[in-house]
Amino acid sequence: MPKLKVLSGIELLRIFSIFGFNIKSQKGSHVKIFRKINSIEQILTIPNHNELDKGTIKAIIRQASKYIPESELKKYFYSE
């Protein structure tokens, strides 16, 4: 069974930039990222912490899977 990687907020921002997300705004340690597809804005919020809890990472994966197929996300979030 694949194991969830321990990631930082900056690493998540790099991962989502691969999928075309850009920084929209930041308030405190939370960064809003977005991409526009067919005039629909897709927004995610990423905590910019050194190490994110596994539950937080799973919640971000769940939110991102509304926009990106989970099969494409797995290679960035899980180790073999």
Which tokens in the block code for residue 41?
């804005």
CA angle 31, 3, 20 (to 5 degrees): 35
Note down the domain range covering 49: 3-72
In a domain, 77, yes or no: no
In a domain, 46, yes or no: yes
In a domain, 59, yes or no: yes
Domain count, the chain: 1
Q: What is the CATH number of the domain that holds 14?
A: 3.30.920.30
Q: pLDDT tens for residues 16-60?
A: 999 999 999 999 999 999 999 998 899 999 999 999 999 999 999
In a domain, 10, yes or no: yes
Non-local (6+) Cβ contacts of 14 within 8 A are none
Q: Which amino acid is at 38?
A: N
* Whether the Cβ atoms of residue 61 and residue 77 lie closer than 8 Å to each other: yes
In a domain, 26, yes or no: yes
Residue 43's φ and ψ, nearest 5 degrees, are -125, 135
Q: What is the pTM of this model?
A: 0.90
